[in-house]
Structures are given as C-alpha cells and as structure tokens.
C-alpha cells in the first residue's frame, strides 16, 4: 500500500513535467461550443492547415470567468462562443481584439460595427410543441400573446437560466421596453412554466410528454427529429440514420416546430461567433482559423451536422430546414450588438423569481 | 492532549506539518477568493441578493433533500453492510462490489437514465407496459441521489463492522444480553464514527450536487450557484451563494463533530481481534438476496443496461476506439495519482484528529471537509488566480489538476482512515516506540497495517470521484485534455446519448475493475490476518 502511494506520487511528478511543455506555435481555442458539435471541425482544420490546435471546452460563462481571472496571462488565442450575449460581454470586458476586413467581410450579415468578433452561424428562436396535444392553429401569432394561452398552463417549458433565452429577453427589453418585458415575464409565470437548465433536457421532456410546448432554438427540434450531428462528417446523409430515426420514433411524443408571424420577436435570429483575444501572441494564425470557420466547408458542416444556418451566402441547407431567406424574414430586424447589457435582464429574471 | 502539545508535535514533525499546511492552504485560498469577489459589491447590493425569499426557499429545499437522502441511504446501506459482513450469505464478494459500483455512475447519467425509464414514453412503458409518472422535483432528486451515494455509507459501515472486536459481543452475550440487545448496545455504538463519516459524505455530496438536481429541476443552493457560474455572468452573486453554501456546510460539520466527541473504540487487551462468527441466515437467505439483488439492479443494472442500450446504435457504426483509449488514459493519469495523494494527505489529518484529539486538531479536520464543500467552480477559479499569481509555470498542467482533485476530494479519504484509526490501539505504537522505532517507523510498522482496509476504501472513493469529475477538469486541465467524463457530458449535453454511451460505459467498467482489484487485495489481506491469527 505504502509502495502504491509512493509510486503514484512519483507518477504525478513525472507526468506533470511532461504536461508542462506548452508548445509555442500551437493555437489555443477556448470554445463555448460543445466538443460533441465541433470536434470534427477542429480536426478538419488541423489536417488542412497543418497546425496544432488545442481546445478547452466549457460553457460560455465559465470560459469568460476563466478568461477574466487569467487576465493578461491567458494562453488562449481564440474565444469561440455559443451565444451573442457572451460575445457582447467579452467586448464589454475588453477581451477581444479588432478583426481585419479579410475576416469580417465574409459573413453576409450580423457583423458588429466594432468588428471585435465575427458571426459564424445563425439560429432562430422557435416554439416547439407536441403536435398531438396542441393544435398549431390555436397558437398565438406573436410570442407577446403567449401568456394568454391559458390551456398551456403547467404544460409549457422555458430555460430562464440559459443564454439564448436571456438573449431573447434582452432583445424584448431593448425593443419593447423594461415595463412590458416585466409584464410579459410575470404573466408567463402565471402559466407556471417548468424551468429547465438547458434546452436538451427540455426537449427530452417534450418528447417524453412531460410538457407540450417549449420556448427553444430551432435546431433542438431538428436534431431530435433528424439525428443531426452524429459521427464523422462525410459530406452526405447517412442512410442508416434514417432507419434509426424510424426505429426510435414511437418512443417519443410527436414534436414539431411552430413559428410566430413574420418579424415577431419569438422568431428572433441569434448568432454564434468567434473573436481573437487581445492576449493572443499569434493573431494572424487565429484569424486564419476564423476564416476557416467562415469557409464553405465549415459552413456546410454547420448546416448539415449541427442544423444551424450558414453565415456566408451560397451554402445549402438540408431539405428539412426552412430556407435561409424565409427564416430571416420571420425574424425581426434587430441589431445584435444591442445584446451586450445582460445585467438588467438578469435582475429582471431574479425579480420575478425565475432565476 | 493539549493544544500546546499538538502545536509542538506539528512543529517537529514535518510529515504532519506539511500535509496540514497544504490542506489549510487548499481550503483558505478559495475562501479568500470568494470573500474578495463577494465584497466587490457594495453592501446594499449584497443584502438585496442575500436577504430575499428565494434564499429561504433554497435553504429549505437543500436541507429537506439532504435529510431525505440521508434517510434513504441509511435504509439502503445498513442492511447491505450487515449482510456482507456478518452473515454467511454466499456471494458476499460480488454483493460488496455491487455496493460500491454506483459510485462509478456519474450523477447526471443516473438522472438521465431515471428520466428515460419512467414516464409514458419511458423504457418501462415500452418494455413491460408499466407507466410510472416521469420522475422530477424532490422525488426524482431523492431517488437518484440515494441510489448514487449510498455506497459512501455502505463502505464506511462495512469497514466499521469488520473492525468491531467480536470479543466484546461475546462478553455481552455471556452476560445474558440477547442478540438484538447486543446489536443495539454493543455493535451500534461502535458503528457511530463510520456512520457519521459516511453520512457526512452523503450530506456534503447532496449539498454540492448539481448534475442530478438540475435535471430533476429541484432548486437547491448548488443548483442556483451553478446557474450563476454556468449560465449567467455574475461572479458576485455566485460568490455570495457559495459563501452561504459554505456556512451551511459549516453547521453540518459542527453537528457531526459534536456527535463524535469522546469516542474510544479500540481494543485495550493484548492480541489482535478475530473476525466475528458469521450468522447462519437459513431461509432468510432469500430475503437477503432479494434486497441486495433489487438494490444492485436499480443502482447498477439499470444505468448500465440503459447506457448499453443507447450504445447499440453506435456499435453498428463503429466505436471510437482511439478517442476512448486516449480519454481513458487522460482520466486515469489524473485520477490515480490524485487518489494516492489524497490518501497521503488525509492520513496525518485523520491521525491527528484521532490520537491528539483537541480543539485545534478537530478544527484542522473540519477545515479539510470544508474543501469538499467548496463549490468546484469557485475552487477552480480561485486556483486560476492563485497559480497565475504565485507559480504561473504550473497553470494548466496535469500536476495542478491532480493537486486540485486531491485537495477537493480529500474529505472522502478522511472518514475511512479515521474509522480504521479509532479501532487501532495506540499502545501497539507505543510498544514499537519503546522497542526503539522512530515515530514514523512505529506508525509504519504498528498502526499502518491496521489502517490498510481504511486506506483502500479511501483510495477507491477518491479515484471514483475523480473519474467522474467535471468542473475542475473543465477549468484546470491542460488545454486539449479530454477525460472520459468530459466526453460523456459533452455528448449527453447535446442529447447525443448514443455517442456519450461508450465513454460512460468505459468509466463504469474501468471503475468496476479498479474497485474489484482493491477488494481482492483486501480479501488477500484478510486471509493473511487469519493465518497469522
């Protein structure tokens, strides 16, 4: 036993020595996007650009907290975020460096005027519902009227602690004002919505019949129905996946996507994005990675495997997705830079007891 | 046993002072960090955040859940510990292994499995047509946590039951006590340190759990706290919540300490203790099997079976062997050294607490437990600030991760060692001293062999916990370091259960092998003892 303990200690020392050797020329990415969704993309880049890339995965907020505590000693070169609010927060804390036009001219839309980050993919807010339990014709035209849909009482789910929901509330606060947002939230709580920590368990609950409607992002429904990001990217749909889908189908309630009327806040477009950190000592290499994320190859991967909308024009989306232009007309006109001020939103959510 | 004596001992003995220093620093650094962050806000904001109904609700939920899980784990662990130590039930070794394995199932996996099992579209409804309401809230959290944490209590009770000197029971029997009276008056009091150590771990685990309560949507302190760090950008409110959680932990630790006061359980006679004569169960054997089997089915069979089912699709398309192997190596290379280091650090702390029982040594032990209760995300952020300020070279190295694991999980290692020490007579060591051994030598030759069983359990606890760990790994691991737990979580978070399953199963299988190996060593040790005795 004593020998075992001593041996393991020696092992610690030896292995930590090995771990110490941080190579100078490797690109370090802090990714709020989950490993499951982007790992193959990173491997693709490594092979293509022949550089060593290391990724630290976490939630946006965790990585932001780490970046702030690391301050100027951070080893990170790129911050790749899952949400617009996180990017705004990084700009507010002066973490991101300005990007050259060679990067920011690629996306067709949503580039912030400060050019501190670039949008990479788009997602849309939607209402997911159980098509057996809810008739879509009864659903309101605007998300603003959702609270008056009494028969959803106790049957609707939301994610007050999740960033895209908070971005949506911020957008409502910025467009409709503080008072109406508070009113909407309070009226929503009267429907006694079920709070989930993130969209995945909420969609599972919808599929399990625990709730009948859920305020979520569009791709969660698509991934539930079409498999989505599975396995290595091969550039075409796997036939086996369709078989699986049919097999798995009866094990869940029928879930569908509902979109509110054109231009409604309930269909808001949000983006994922990335920026180069001011502490990076190889910003040219970091910018090259961002350019890769906006390349045809990476954008098509996002559309086919993650079911998010591409940011550069001309990239096809799978048939089962609403076409890009149609999805964009559904979303209201909104400057995404205005999503920076998260604090009043958090205060509001706390005040109504949702957080 | 005065404070002065303890302090003098600590000054002379580096092998005590050093670990104690490390442990104190490991707890006080994060505490300092939290205070600094919390008091960045002005007092008005602070009191607005802290003094509100939400806080009281969180407190009620947290305490309610902890009490419920304590009751639940007691009901599960007590009979199992007794069956596997005091009866002649064939297959006790397997049942013991089954009683440890739930520790290898990550909490969130257990929660996802229970969610997938119940409800109108759940596995139960699909396979045998039984529709149970989909678990959630208090009940869901209670069931998932009880099934996942009873091994802490089981193993501590088992160690204690094996250590009880049967001579005492036999004396009581000859004095006319019935079997039941013996159990109540002689055996139970001896189990108190083990029970307290186990229930303390269960309690602290519940206070700190996020994975289960978030999926079951039951709002406790740690749930609220995790949301602040993981989903919002508010480090100040997070720090407030962390401090409130620590205060609550402090109360629990104080309660446990006052229940432990004045215990003396070791043998005072000469010679070594025998094993107790096992009870013949007879026809009751089947009741024993039914209980142990049902428990193993719910806590090990169900998660393994469900995860295996999720994996069936992935098997068809080919398993990611390369990634599995590298993740397994990453997990083991961090968890195994951490388990050893934690046991090394915990030994002097437990030793001081048992042999030099005083206010000071008790405080040290309690402080070590506080490290377990420090929310891991806060702990990780504090370590980032500390290492970058003091020793930037170790930042994001494996060494730092191992140290972080060891400091965080050390509390799990203290209990079993402490229980073993309570039952190891100090006069053996004194005799060794009088025969000319040094202090360290006397400890190594006289007391250490008696602690072996406790140490094995300690190492197993820390290893299993470290294999499942997430938040510390996320923030402190070297960049690009992908453990099994990180991969499991990453895929499960995106609802890609088929992809998550191989990683989760590898955690469970590897942990099972590791624990099996430890138990075999223990049995070998027991066999040796028998030969000598």
CATH of the domain at A343: 3.40.190.10
Flag if A11 and B336 touch (Cβ within 8 Å).
Answer: yes
Domain assignment of residue A84, given as a range: 25-122+270-322
A185, A298: one domain: no
Lowest mean pLDDT across A78-92, A241-255, B397-411, B482-496: A241-255
Candidate ranges A20-34, B22-36, B305-319, B325-339; pick with highest mean pLDDT:
B325-339
SS3 A241: helix
In a domain, A10, yes or no: no
- Which pLDDT band, with edges at 50, 70 and 90, does B312 fall under? confident
Closest chain A residue by Cα to residue B456:
A1
**Helical spans, DSSP H, in B183-282:** 188-208, 211-215, 221-230, 235-260
**Total number of domains constituting chain A:** 2
- Tell me which of B371 and A52 has the higher pLDDT: A52
Going along chain B from its start, the domains and CATH numbers come out as: 3-261+285-311+320-532 (1.10.3720.10)
A184, A286: one domain: no
Flag if A20 and B397 touch (Cβ within 8 Å).
Answer: yes
CA distances from B431 to B8, B9, B441 (A): 22, 19, 12
Task: Please tell me the predicted confidence (pLDDT) of residue A277.
Answer: 94
CA atoms within 13 A on the CB side of B246: 25
Task: Please tell me the predicted confidence (pLDDT) of residue B77.
Answer: 94
8 A C-beta contact, residue A156 and residue A121: no
Task: Please tell me the predicted confidence (pLDDT) of residue A10.
Answer: 58
Does A247 score more than 80 pLDDT? Answer: no
Flag if A229 and B475 touch (Cβ within 8 Å).
Answer: no
In a domain, A334, yes or no: no
Task: Please tell me the predicted confidence (pLDDT) of residue B40.
Answer: 79
From the CA of B334, how many Å to the nearest CA of chain A?
A: 8
In a domain, A56, yes or no: yes
Q: What is the mean pLDDT of residues A160-168?
A: 88
Does A126 score more than 50 pLDDT? Answer: yes
A287, A175: one domain: no
What rounded mean pLDDT belongs to chain A? 84
CA angle, B378 then B144 then A158, to 5°: 70
Helix (H) or strand (E) holding A215: strand A213-217
Residues of A in contact with B214 (CB under 8 A): 197, 201
Q: Could you report the predicted ipTM of this complex, rounded to two decimals?
A: 0.80
A142, A244: one domain: yes
A277, A168: one domain: no
Q: Look at chain B and count its residues.
A: 533
Structure tokens at A314: 């001309």
Lowest mean pLDDT across A5-9, A305-309, B192-196, B394-398: A5-9
Q: What is the mean pLDDT of residues B320-332?
A: 89
In a domain, A279, yes or no: yes
Number of inter-chain CB pairs under 8 A, A vs B: 192
The residues that bridge with A273 in the sheet, in sequence order, are: A81, A119
Does A238 score more than 50 pLDDT? Answer: no
8 A C-beta contact, residue B34 and residue B46: no
**Chain B contacts in chain A segment 5-24 (CB below 8 A):** 5, 7-9, 11-13, 15-16, 18-20, 22
Residue whose structure tokens are 């189908």: A249
Residues of B in contact with A234 (CB under 8 A): none
- Which pLDDT band, with edges at 50, 70 and 90, does A230 fall under? very low
- Write the CB contacts of B37 (distance below 8 Å, at least 6 apart in sequence): B235, B236, B238, B239
Interface test with B, best of A10, A20, A351 (most B CBs within 10 A): A20
Flag if A229 and B340 touch (Cβ within 8 Å).
Answer: no
- Which pLDDT band, with edges at 50, 70 and 90, does B20 fall under? confident
Residues of B in contact with A55 (CB under 8 A): 479-480
Lowest mean pLDDT across A4-8, A10-14, A233-237, B357-361: A233-237
Residues of B in contact with A252 (CB under 8 A): 121
A133, A253: one domain: yes
Closest chain A residue by Cα to residue B236:
A65
- Which pLDDT band, with edges at 50, 70 and 90, does A248 fall under? very low
Q: What is the mean pLDDT of residues B382-388?
A: 86
User: CB-CB: which of A22, A203, A355 is closest to B495?
Assistant: A203
Does A241 score more than 60 pLDDT? Answer: no
pLDDT tens digit sequence for A308-326: 999 988 888 888 888 888 8
In a domain, A133, yes or no: yes
User: CB-CB: which of A36, A54, A65 is closest to B491?
Assistant: A36
Flag if B479 and A55 touch (Cβ within 8 Å).
Answer: yes
- Write the CB contacts of B21 (distance below 8 Å, at least 6 apart in sequence): none
CA distances from B385 to A224, B34, B463, B471 (A): 40, 11, 26, 16
pTM: 0.85
Q: How far apart are CA B39 and CA B236, in angstroms?
A: 8
Does B267 score more than 80 pLDDT? Answer: no
**Chain B contacts in chain A segment 155-214 (CB below 8 A):** 161-163, 166, 194-198, 200-201, 203-205, 207-210
> Percent of chain A, pLDDT > 70?
86
In a domain, A82, yes or no: yes
Closest chain A residue by Cα to residue B210:
A197
User: CB-CB: which of B115, B336, B471 is closest to A204?
Assistant: B115
Task: Please tell me the predicted confidence (pLDDT) of residue B428.
Answer: 79
Q: How far apart are CA B194 and CA B365, in angstroms?
A: 15
Flag if A65 and B394 touch (Cβ within 8 Å).
Answer: no
8 A C-beta contact, residue A230 and residue B491: no
From the CA of B90, how many Å to the nearest CA of chain A?
A: 28
Task: Please tell me the predicted confidence (pLDDT) of residue A121.
Answer: 94
Q: How far apart are CA A254 and CA A72, in angstroms?
A: 50
Task: Please tell me the predicted confidence (pLDDT) of residue B11.
Answer: 61
Q: What is the mean pLDDT of residues A68-79?
A: 89
Q: What is the mean pLDDT of residues A320-338?
A: 87
Task: Please tell me the predicted confidence (pLDDT) of residue B2.
Answer: 61
In a domain, A159, yes or no: yes
Nearest to A277 by CA among A6, A133, A135, A73: A73
A146, A218: one domain: yes
Task: Please tell me the predicted confidence (pLDDT) of residue A246.
Answer: 39
Closest chain A residue by Cα to residue B454:
A1
Structure tokens at A10: 């020696």
Lowest mean pLDDT across A33-47, B103-117, B258-272, B451-465: B258-272
Helix (H) or strand (E) holding A30: strand A27-31
Does A228 score more than 80 pLDDT? Answer: no
A31, A92: one domain: yes
From the CA of B131, how many Å to the nearest CA of chain A?
A: 12
- Which pLDDT band, with edges at 50, 70 and 90, does A6 fall under? low
Task: Please tell me the predicted confidence (pLDDT) of residue B436.
Answer: 81
A109, A146: one domain: no
CB atoms within 10 A of CB B14: 10
Does B203 score more than 50 pLDDT? Answer: yes
Task: Please tell me the predicted confidence (pLDDT) of residue A268.
Answer: 92
- Which pLDDT band, with edges at 50, 70 and 90, does B253 fall under? confident
Residues of A in contact with B336 (CB under 8 A): 8, 11
Task: Please tell me the predicted confidence (pLDDT) of residue B263.
Answer: 57
- Tell me which of B263 and B472 has the higher pLDDT: B472
C-alpha distance across the termini of chain B, in Å: 33
A151, A256: one domain: yes
- Write the CB contacts of A164 (distance below 8 Å, at least 6 apart in sequence): A83, A123, A125, A199, A217, A270
Q: Sign of the C-alpha dihedral, residues B471, A117, A121, A124? A: positive
A141, A249: one domain: yes
CA angle, A60 then A65 then A67, to 5°: 90
Flag if B126 and A251 touch (Cβ within 8 Å).
Answer: yes
A274, A301: one domain: yes
Nearest to B526 by CA among B29, B158, B223: B158
- Write the CB contacts of B200 (distance below 8 Å, at least 6 apart in sequence): B252, B253, B256, B369, B415
In a domain, A204, yes or no: yes
């Amino acid at each position: 036993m004593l020998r075992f303990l001593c041996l393991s200690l020696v092992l610690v020392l030896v292995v930590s020595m090995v771990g110490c050797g941080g190579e100078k020329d490797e690109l370090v990415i802090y990714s709020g996007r989950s490993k499951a969704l982007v790992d193959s993309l990173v491997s693709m880049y490594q092979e293509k650009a022949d550089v060593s890339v290391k990724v630290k995965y976490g939630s946006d907020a965790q990585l932001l907290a780490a970046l702030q505590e690391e301050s100027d000693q951070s080893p990170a070169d790129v911050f790749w975020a899952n949400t617009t609010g996180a990017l705004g927060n990084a700009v507010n804390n002066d973490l991101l460096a300005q990007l050259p036009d060679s990067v920011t001219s690629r996306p067709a839309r949503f580039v912030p005027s400060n050019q501190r980050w670039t949008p990479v993919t788009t997602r849309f807010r939607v209402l997911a519902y159980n098509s057996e339990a809810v008739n879509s014709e009864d659903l309101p035209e605007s998300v603003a009227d959702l609270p008056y849909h009494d028969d959803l009482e106790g049957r609707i789910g939301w994610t007050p602690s999740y960033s895209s929901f908070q971005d949506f509330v911020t957008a409502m606060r910025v467009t409709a004002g503080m008072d109406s947002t508070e009113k909407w939230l309070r009226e929503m709580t009267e429907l006694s919505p079920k709070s989930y920590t993130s969209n995945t368990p909420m969609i599972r609950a919808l599929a399990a019949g625990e709730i009948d409607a859920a305020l979520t992002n569009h791709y969660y429904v698509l991934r539930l129905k079409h498999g989505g990001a599975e396995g290595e990217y091969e550039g075409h749909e796997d036939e086996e996946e369709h078989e699986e889908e049919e097999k798995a189908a009866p094990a869940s309630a029928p879930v569908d996507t509902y979109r509110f009327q054109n231009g409604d806040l309930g269909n808001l477009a949000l983006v994922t994005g990335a920026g180069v950190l001011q502490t990076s000592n190889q910003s040219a290499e970091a910018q090259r990675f961002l350019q890769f994320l906006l390349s045809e190859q990476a954008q098509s991967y996002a559309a086919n495997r993650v079911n998010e909308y591409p940011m550069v024009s001309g990239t096809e989306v799978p048939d089962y997705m609403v076409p890009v232009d149609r999805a964009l007309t559904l979303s209201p006109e909104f400057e995404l830079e205005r999503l920076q001020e998260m604090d009043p939103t958090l205060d509001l959510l706390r005040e109504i007891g949702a957080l | 046993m005065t404070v002065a004596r303890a302090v003098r001992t600590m000054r002379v003995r580096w092998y005590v002072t050093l670990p104690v220093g490390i442990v104190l620093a490991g707890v006080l650094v994060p505490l300092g960090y939290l205070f600094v962050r919390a008091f960045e806000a002005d007092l008005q904001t602070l009191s607005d955040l802290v003094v509100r109904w939400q806080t009281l609700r969180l407190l009620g939920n947290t305490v309610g859940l902890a009490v419920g899980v304590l009751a639940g784990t007691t009901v599960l662990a007590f009979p199992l510990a007794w069956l596997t130590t005091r009866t002649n039930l064939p297959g006790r070794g397997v049942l013991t292994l089954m009683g440890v394995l739930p520790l290898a199932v990550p909490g969130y996996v257990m929660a996802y499995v229970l969610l997938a099992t119940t409800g109108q579209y759940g596995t139960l409804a699909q396979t045998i047509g039984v529709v149970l309401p989909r678990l959630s809230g208090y009940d869901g959290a209670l069931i998932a946590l009880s099934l996942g944490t009873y091994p802490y209590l089981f193993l501590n009770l088992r160690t204690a039951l094996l250590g009880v000197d049967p001579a005492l029971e036999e004396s009581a029997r000859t004095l006319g006590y019935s079997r039941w009276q013996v159990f109540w008056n002689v055996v139970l009091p001896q189990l108190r340190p083990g029970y307290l150590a186990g229930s303390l771990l269960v309690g602290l685990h519940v206070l700190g759990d996020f994975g289960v309560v978030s999926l079951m949507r039951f709002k406790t302190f740690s749930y609220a706290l995790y949301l602040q760090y993981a989903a919002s950008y508010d480090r100040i409110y997070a720090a407030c919540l962390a401090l409130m959680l620590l205060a609550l932990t402090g109360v629990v630790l104080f309660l446990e300490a006052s229940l432990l006061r004045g215990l003396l359980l070791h043998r005072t006679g000469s010679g070594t203790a025998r094993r107790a004569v096992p009870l013949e169960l007879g026809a009751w054997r089947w009741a024993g099997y039914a209980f142990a089997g049902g428990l193993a089915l719910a806590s090990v069979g169900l998660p393994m079976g469900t995860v295996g089912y999720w994996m069936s699709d992935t098997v068809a398309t080919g398993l990611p062997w390369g990634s599995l192997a590298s993740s397994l190596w990453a997990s083991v290379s961090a968890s195994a050294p951490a388990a050893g280091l934690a046991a090394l650090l915990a030994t002097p702390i437990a030793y001081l607490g048992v042999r030099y029982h005083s206010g000071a040594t008790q405080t040290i032990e309690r402080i070590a437990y506080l490290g377990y209760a420090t929310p891991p995300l806060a702990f990780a952020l504090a370590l980032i600030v500390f290492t970058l300020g003091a020793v930037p070279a170790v930042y994001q190295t494996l060494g730092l991760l191992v140290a972080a694991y060891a400091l965080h999980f050390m509390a799990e290692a203290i209990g079993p060692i402490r229980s073993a020490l309570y039952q190891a007579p100090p006069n053996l060591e004194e005799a060794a001293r009088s025969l000319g051994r040094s202090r360290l030598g006397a400890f190594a030759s006289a007391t250490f062999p008696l602690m072996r069983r406790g140490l094995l359990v300690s190492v197993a606890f820390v290893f299993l916990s470290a294999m499942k760990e997430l938040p510390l790994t996320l923030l402190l691991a070297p960049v690009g370091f992908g453990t099994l737990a990180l991969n499991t979580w990453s895929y499960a978070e995106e609802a890609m259960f088929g992809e998550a399953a191989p990683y989760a199963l590898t955690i469970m299988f590897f942990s099972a092998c590791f624990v099996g190996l430890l138990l075999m060593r223990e049995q070998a040790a027991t066999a040796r003892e028998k030969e000598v005795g």
